[in-house]
Structure 1
Amino acid sequence: MAKITYNSWLQEHKRPFGAVLVGTTIEFDLMIQTNHQVTVNIVLQFENGFKSYEKMTAISDGIFRMTLSNLTEIGYYNYYFQITEFDDTHEYRYFYGATEIGGGPGTTYVNEISVIPYTQTIFLKREEAPDWYRQAIFYQIFPDSFARKGHLENPKDNIFFYGKETDPPYYIREGNGDITHWTYYGGNIAGIIDKIPYLKLLGVTSLYFNPIFEARSSHRYDTSDYMKIDPVLGTEADFKQLVDTLHQHDMRLILDGVFSHVGRNSKYFDFDGKSGGQGAYQTTQSPYFDWFTFNQYPDDYKSWWGIKDLPTIDKTKESFQQYIYGESDSVLSKWNGLGIDGWRLDVADELPDDFIKGIRDTLENYPEQVLIGEVWEDASRKIAYEQHRKYIYGDALHAAMNYPFRDIIIGLVTSEMSPETAARKLMQLSENYPADVFLNNFNNIGTHDTERILTRLGENLTKLDLAVGLLMILPGVPTIYYGDEAGLIGHKDPENRAFFPWKNVNESTSKIYQKWIKIRQSAPVLITGNLSLFYSDRIFGLIR
């Protein structure tokens, strides 16, 4: 068997590197050392499963080349190499493909069915996000738990306020696990405005809010009315004051758009009949009736992951699309009109590509806005409901929440992942994503859906220092989850949503964040520079 050399990350084997704009010519060079006669095919596999075997040309001794300029399908192609070797009496056929880690140097396979293919991304157009976004250091605020100022309002039924801000978060449940009363700290917009000087001093330039729409719960992912701000948070005038104050401080704000589902006690569904009686559960004549899917009316309905408190919306319905982004008085028009700077789409997997594109098309009227999607996997390869999702190919999202990045960083600093594996996984993301999207990605080491980073690292400050450093110096837009810099700990929901410890900030963790934020802000190359990685058994290094 011949010695084969190919590395999808090196210019001597593939040009250009990584994802390419549609119509770009790509060259592949496979190097073979053998004393026998050989022929080589590159095997292209399209998204529909069709395979094409294309003969490569021997351009010199041991170098076989394929030049492709006809890859016009937006998405990604699989490819690998078929080698046929001849001696005087026999013909040997084998294959060369990627490894389980992904691209880069590959390995030889005897059976074609076992081959792990390389992948090649083809995108429609560049995603040049606004400059403010590329340069941003984001801070994610869970509005109920960050800061409170003024009188504590209680405008809702069946909610419970903690006695002290230091009380640990918990849910009040029935024996069957259903939550009977939602617990609140009472964080509000006035409190956030009051803490803008703190955020500026920390070095934060932009905020991402978890949902602020009227809802029953404190997490507010069960929207009651998209057009109203939750009364516990304050008024629309308070919100406008917040946006204006942020802009006066050269800060930006993006909101969480929860468009996959609503709360069952929302005005749109109205399970309990307390929202005007015009919800889909109350009457088939509801203007919102066709937004929902009833298997048997009214009690058997489609809900998000089977959670009956969250009826799923059919996003293909034109009336819903118009309500969210199509009309002059749509949800997007209302909040964009108040001056926000972008949106993060909750559970992007649940939103059809056409729906996301509709939102993006609307935002083209706001060129300084950004659109981010919640995607937990490599967004360039995401399969949801048996469809390859076209999130980051040029007419949908500017960026995705980079949870694979979090996994790599934590794996590296905890030694759960070797330096080689971490480097190769990062390079795989760099190869798969269009270069602009790789720089746009919304990087995090913790969010409202994960363990607190300090908890995940066993409260080891040395490991935290490394993790925060990597968050700030690797490509992408860094995001800090509120309170991480103050030393908050906690496992997953609800423990990771405790109130900010304003009277007990951990100075050691705070200094770690301040140090790395200053480093990022002092070095523009960390925003737009290229990435080179190196590693050994015990060393992980990078050059920007």
Structure 2
Amino acid sequence: MHYDSFVDRTPAGALMKQTPVTFTLTAPEAKVATLLVSKADGGMQAVVMHRHNGQWTATIMPDSEGLWYYAFRVETNTGQVTYGTVAGGFGGSGQVYRDPDAAPWYQLTVVDRFETVPDWYKNARIYHIFVDRFNNGNPDGHINHPKPNSFLYGQLSDDPYYVKDGQGEVVRWDFYGGNLAGITAKLDWLQSLGFTALYLSPIFEAASNHHYDTADYYRIDPMLGTLADFKALVSGLHRRGMHLILDGVFNHVGRDSRYFNAFGHYEDRGAAQDPASPYAAWFTFKHWPDDYKSWWGVKDLPAIKKESASFHEFIAGGEDSVIGYWTGLGVDGWRLDVVDELADDFLREIRSLLDHYPNRVLIGEVWEDASHKIAYDKRRPYLQGHELQGAMNYPQRQLMLDYVNGAISPGTFARQLLTLKENYPPEVFAYNFTSISTHDTQRVLTALGEDRTKLAQMVTLWASLPGNLVQFYGDEAGLNGDVDPLNRKYYPWDQVDDEIFKWYQAAWAKRDDPLFSGNAGLTVIFDGEGLGILRYLKDEAVLVGFNATDRTVELNPQACDLHLVPEKWRDLIQTMTISAHSSVTQLLPKMTK
């Protein structure tokens, strides 16, 4: 008895509602086979399957979007069994369960419409900048408008360090002096490296260096520059055919903001100053004014009520709203911080507003598989066609790290990667927002134990898989660092690691080859130790082999299960000898007919 969701369901992957989908179970020993189908919000149906030469088929047409789940009930001469997927709910080959309650069911993603992304975002190479830590564009190097009760580093090479009180709260924010003008000054350099878009950490006025504690959504932080500096950056990007993605932080604001105004630094009557403030309804006070709901208990970040209609209107209510204003000034896309904390109706409002502007994109910070994310006991319909166009691809990042670090086998890597492909709408998977370091993680070199050989392999794997490359500033220069604040060092302009830089350049250049574009086909082959990533178009294909072990291995197609490989390519794959912690590329012979 056998079923593999990657090949035995037609069409494969996510599908639109009202699309017929056929399931084929191989079970010559079965007397009766039944397809069990259940929608995530309840209700189950049993569909009798039809037999033909030992295979059983059934076709259904899901009538509504959402997550559907399925398994097979099979009657044999020895009794009734259930065929479901493996533990963890991953796609691919499943197994027989005697106890039906023990059988995990397969996921079927059904959407209202397939998400699409603008042409500029397809195969975009995106450079992620933590603005204070990148470059100071002032010719004399002076720092714009230093903040009170903060400190500036004596040397740009100093490691970041937080000054905290006994409760662990930062009491002196630290700054290096990077600014928007510094980014504009580097646009030619960034374009020469092949980058087509920038993603900036928050740039609106705030008390901290990270600016996730927004103080004024309509003002550029004075340390980062002026509105004129912002417009110059946008103009410089668009003149070069490049694009800009901003970080939208709409779950919380700063304690030191015009909306909360705990310290009275703003003329506005903030919620912490006056219970009748126009902003008071945005917040939840347990005891006014000093006990309030905040993001994960961080008192510096008062949380916005999820259901606050006035806040939703303020952020996404039209062309004069926060998103409308900045998008009207040329912002090409938004990455939504902690999107799990935002209500679905708010997300739809944001998406609806952005849809009024041509060629914009909306990305969400989701750390798990975004197709079935549950947040606050509610399944989130992020990818159903009306909310996000993509998510931060943390699951794929973790898979790559686990494989290169030897924590998972090639087979586990293959199953979990192809499960993401199966669960996500096609363009979401093809062009997902894929970083190997971010401001919220260890830098990749540190995550790999400072092993440079592993880093070279990791960077090649990153470029070989689908997903837009999102390059965290400084990784290419050799920066390391544990989590915040050590992952937020200043760019080492005078101490770039040339060897590491060349590895990244090769990875970026790989994306010039259409075989590594988002719309190229993907499958995976593997044996006990070797892993092969096959990318293919109509008449050409390339296989990139990887070895995460400490010894040389052979990736022999005769020892691999090739059932996931399109038949026309199977006989063309040759044995690859791969050194320890390295990769080998094999271009398959081009099809002539």
1:201 aligns with 192
Following superposition, the deviation at residue 362 of structure 1 comes to 0.5
1:16 maps onto 2:16 in alignment: no
Partner SS, residue 404 of structure 1: helix
1:460 aligns with 451
Q: 1:288 to 1:221 in 2, by over 3 A?
A: same
Following superposition, the deviation at residue 385 of structure 1 comes to 0.8
Counterparts of residues 232-243 of structure 1 (less than 5 Å): 232-243=223-234
Distance of 1:77 and 1:155 partners within structure 2 = 54
Distance of 2:42 and 2:269 partners within structure 1 = 47
1:94 aligns with 81
Runs of 4+ in 1 over 6 A off after TM superposition: none
Structure 2 gaps of 5+ residues are 536-593
Following superposition, the deviation at residue 320 of structure 1 comes to 0.9
2:54 aligns with 62
Following superposition, the deviation at residue 82 of structure 1 comes to 1.0
Distance of 1:342 and 1:540 partners within structure 2 = 35
Partner SS, residue 230 of structure 2: helix
Is this contact kept in 2: 1:40–1:81, CA < 8 A? yes
Is this contact kept in 1: 2:510–2:516, CA < 8 A? no
Is this contact kept in 1: 2:271–2:280, CA < 8 A? yes
Distance of 2:16 and 2:123 partners within structure 1 = 24
Q: Which TM-score applies when normalising by structure 1?
A: 0.95
1:231 maps onto 2:231 in alignment: no
Q: 1:526 to 1:507 in 2, by over 3 A?
A: same
Query: For residue 26 of structure 2, what is the amino acid of its counterpart?
Result: M
Q: 1:522 to 1:18 in 2, by over 3 A?
A: closer
Higher relative contact order, chain-length normalized (CA < 8 Å, sep 6+):
1
Deviations 1:379-399 (A, max 9, x none): 001000111101111111110
Deviations 1:433-466 (A, max 9, x none): 0111111210111100000101111222222122
1:121 aligns with 109
Distance of 1:189 and 1:61 partners within structure 2 = 67
Deviations 1:498-538 (A, max 9, x none): 00000000001100011111121133652311111111111
2:260 aligns with 269
Deviations 1:302-322 (A, max 9, x none): 111111111111132221111
Is this contact kept in 2: 1:398–1:440, CA < 8 A? no
1:49 maps onto 2:42 in alignment: yes
Distance of 1:209 and 1:349 partners within structure 2 = 20
Is this contact kept in 2: 1:97–1:117, CA < 8 A? yes
1:314 aligns with 305
1:425 maps onto 2:420 in alignment: no
Query: For residue 84 of structure 2, what is the amino acid of its counterpart?
Result: G
Deviations 1:37-67 (A, max 9, x none): 6212211122123332222222x23222111
Partner SS, residue 312 of structure 2: helix
Percent sequence identity is 45
Following superposition, the deviation at residue 155 of structure 1 comes to 4.2
Distance of 2:318 and 2:84 partners within structure 1 = 49
Distance of 1:524 and 1:394 partners within structure 2 = 28
Is this contact kept in 1: 2:284–2:305, CA < 8 A? yes
1:149 maps onto 2:146 in alignment: no
Q: CA RMSD in A?
A: 1.3
Is this contact kept in 1: 2:434–2:468, CA < 8 A? yes
Distance of 1:528 and 1:465 partners within structure 2 = 25
Is this contact kept in 1: 2:318–2:353, CA < 8 A? no
1:325 aligns with 316
Query: For residue 8 of structure 1, what is the amino acid of its counterpart?
Result: S
* Alignment partner of 1:542 out of 530, 533, 536: 533
2:433 aligns with 442
* Alignment partner of 1:133 out of 121, 143, 150: 121
Is this contact kept in 1: 2:123–2:467, CA < 8 A? no
Following superposition, the deviation at residue 277 of structure 1 comes to 4.8
Query: For residue 203 of structure 1, what is the amino acid of its counterpart?
Result: G
Partner SS, residue 36 of structure 2: strand
1:360 maps onto 2:360 in alignment: no
Question: 414-423 or 319-328, which moves further after superposition?
Answer: 319-328
Is this contact kept in 2: 1:401–1:443, CA < 8 A? yes
Query: For residue 6 of structure 1, what is the amino acid of its counterpart?
Result: Y
Distance of 2:313 and 2:394 partners within structure 1 = 31
2:165 aligns with 174
1:33 maps onto 2:24 in alignment: no
1:75 maps onto 2:105 in alignment: no
Is this contact kept in 2: 1:38–1:85, CA < 8 A? yes
2:585 aligns with none
Deviations 1:257-314 (A, max 9, x none): 0000001111001111221251011111111111111122222211111111111111
Following superposition, the deviation at residue 340 of structure 1 comes to 1.2
* Alignment partner of 2:368 out of 367, 377, 394: 377
Is this contact kept in 1: 2:371–2:383, CA < 8 A? yes
Partner SS, residue 469 of structure 2: strand
Partner SS, residue 93 of structure 2: strand
Partner SS, residue 200 of structure 1: helix
Distance of 1:179 and 1:103 partners within structure 2 = 45
Query: For residue 447 of structure 1, what is the amino acid of its counterpart?
Result: T
Distance of 1:350 and 1:74 partners within structure 2 = 22
Query: For residue 22 of structure 1, what is the amino acid of its counterpart?
Result: K
Is this contact kept in 1: 2:64–2:112, CA < 8 A? no
Q: Number of matched residues?
A: 531
Following superposition, the deviation at residue 413 of structure 1 comes to 1.2
Query: For residue 129 of structure 2, what is the amino acid of its counterpart?
Result: I
Query: For residue 339 of structure 1, what is the amino acid of its counterpart?
Result: G
Deviations 1:395-442 (A, max 9, x none): 111100000010111111111111110111100000000111111210
Following superposition, the deviation at residue 209 of structure 1 comes to 0.3
1:110 maps onto 2:98 in alignment: yes
1:297 maps onto 2:288 in alignment: yes
Q: 1:461 to 1:306 in 2, by over 3 A?
A: same
Query: For residue 33 of structure 2, what is the amino acid of its counterpart?
Result: V
Partner SS, residue 512 of structure 2: helix
Partner SS, residue 54 of structure 1: strand
